[in-house]
Amino acid sequence: MTKIFAYAIRKDEEPFLNEWKDANKDVEVAYTDKLLTPETAALAKGSDGVVVYQQLDYTAETLQALANVGVTKMSLRNVGIDNIDLAKAKELGFEITNVPVYSPDAIAEHAAIQAARVLRQDGLMDAKMANRDLRWAPTIGREVRDQVVGVVGTGHIGQVFMRIMEGFGAKVIAFDIFRNPELEKKGYYVDTLDDLYKQADVISLHVPDVPANVHMINDDSIKEMKDGVVIVNVSRGPLVDTDAVIRGLNSGKVFGFVMDTYEGEVGVFNEDWKGKKFPDDRLANLIDRPNVLVTPHTAFYTTHAVRNMVVKAFDNNYALVEGKPAQTPVKLDM
Ligand code: COI
């Protein structure tokens, strides 16, 4: 019987895993809540493939440990592949799949809600409510329809974000090195990132963490932006030079910041830090600011998205182990 082993299964994923099991009774599914590490790789011994998700790196050592127990078919429940040693995976003959589209709406909606909340100064208003301060001023909002919203990256998520922002009545402009012909026809694209930085009141990032994009938001790009800009990063932490944004917030150039992803998030997000000090002071600095809305990489975290991540990853892995074409293979020559 075909056997698939899943790592790091959370309680909220179990119903969807059981749903998949019920629909695929010819497959034996076993799982653990433990992450895939060199030490836990042996748990997959005897399986035909593994289903995984973790922010921890899939190091050469981890991949080797999995290969040592005969497993080289690995299906991610998420999109990001930046934490996989792809060269090692290729050398060991791995076949890998990911789930590139599980719910663009989950992420775009979060970006839109948080951007609108920053514009309305909700962080400040919430703090006032907590202090029973019911005065209006100086917490006056900016309407979304009065903003030019600049979208960097017009893939699935960027496009949903554009639609939501237009629903609010904003003027939307976009930049992408890979232009979408439909969006191009509608005239959304500006020629350069600088053009977008110069024109946009709200800038939202929807691009991957590839070397060319690392710290695209930095002192120089912030200098190009309009005074009072709102920056939104629900994509990948390394896109933003956090220190530069803090300087922008301190000077007032940056009106607010939506931060769902953070360059130092691995091992920090999705942990309980109550009563403990963060390993990085910048995080407390940002969380304590009323004009910064920090969430711990939860833009994706909806029932709709989690169901798709689990079901699509298992479908992919089943295809791999049956020697059939998987829906969304990862190219290992990157
Ligand atoms: C991804 O799918 O790569 C994400 O960024 C969401 C992740 C935290 C599950």
* 332 domain residue, yes or no: no
Q: Is the CB of 79 under 6 A from ligand 1?
A: yes
Give me the domain span that covers residue 222.
Answer: 104-294
Pair (262, 244) in one structural domain: yes
Q: How far apart are CA 130 and CA 186, in angstroms?
A: 45
Pair 204, 180: CB distance under 8 Å: no
Which protein residue's CA is at the shortest distance from atom 8 of ligand 1? 297
The residues, any chain, with a CB within 8 Å of residue 129's CB and separated by 6 or more, are none
- Give yes or no for residue 297 CB within 6 A of ligand 1: yes
Number of domains in the chain: 2
308 lines ligand 1 (CB under 6 A): no
Ligand 1 lined by 80 (C-beta under 6 Å): yes
- Answer yes or no: do 313 and 216 share one domain: no
Placement of tokens 């119903």 in the chain = 15
The tokens describing 319, both together, are 């295809």
Q: Of 142, 236, 263, 307, which residue is the catalytic one?
A: 236
**Same domain as 212, residue 127:** yes
Q: Spell out where the chain has E strands.
A: 2-6, 27-31, 49-52, 73-76, 95-97, 148-152, 171-175, 202-205, 229-233, 254-259, 292-294
Q: Is 240 exposed, middle or buried (0-12, 13-18, 19+ CB in 10 A)?
A: buried
In a domain, 199, yes or no: yes
- 244 shares a domain with 271: yes
pLDDT digit string, tens, across residues 167-178: 999 999 999 999
Regarding whether 165 and 277 lie in a shared domain, the answer is: yes
Q: Is the dihedral of CA 129, 131, 135, 140 positive or negative?
A: negative
Residues 110 and 196 reside in one and the same domain: yes
Residue 202: partners with Cβ closer than 8 Å, 6 or more residues away: 115, 119, 147, 148, 149, 150, 165, 170, 229, 230, 232
Spatial separation of the C-alpha atoms in residues 153 and 183, rounded to whole Å: 12
Q: Are residues 119 and 246 in the same domain?
A: yes
- Paired sense of beta strands 292-294 and 254-259, if any: parallel
- Does 16 share its domain with 119? no
Residue 226 falls inside a structural domain: yes
Per-residue 3-state assignment (H helix, E strand, C coil) for 25-44: CCEEEEECCCCCCCCCHHHH
Are 51 and 7 in contact by the 8 Å Cβ rule? The answer is yes
How confident is the model at residue 334, as a pLDDT? 61
Whether 149 is covered by a domain: the verdict is yes
Cβ neighbours, 10 Å, residue 311 = 18
| 98 and 111 assigned to the same domain | no
Contact 36/77 with Cβ under 8 angstroms?
Answer: no
- Nearest atom within ligand 1 for CA of residue 99: 2
Residues 73 and 120 in one domain: no
215 labelled catalytic: no
Is residue 334 in a domain?
A: no
Distance 333 CA to ligand 1 centre (A): 21
Domain assignment present for 331: no
Q: Residue 197 domain-assigned? A: yes
| Angle, helices 303-321/104-119, rounded to nearest 10 degrees | 150
Considering 13, 206, 265, 307, which one is annotated as catalytic? 265
Mean pLDDT by 10 residues, the chain (334 residues): 97 98 98 98 98 94 98 97 95 97 98 98 98 98 98 98 98 98 98 98 96 97 98 98 98 98 94 95 97 98 98 98 96 81
Q: How high is the pLDDT of residue 333?
A: 78
**This prediction's pTM:** 0.94
Q: Is 78 in the pocket of ligand 1 (CB under 6 A)?
A: yes
Q: Are residues 89 and 61 in the same domain?
A: yes
Q: 273: closest CA among 258, 260, 284?
A: 284
In a domain, 329, yes or no: no
CATH code: domain of residue 288: 3.40.50.720
Same domain, 196 and 73: no
Query: Which of these, 231, 105, 218, 119, lies nearest to 158 by C-alpha position?
Result: 105
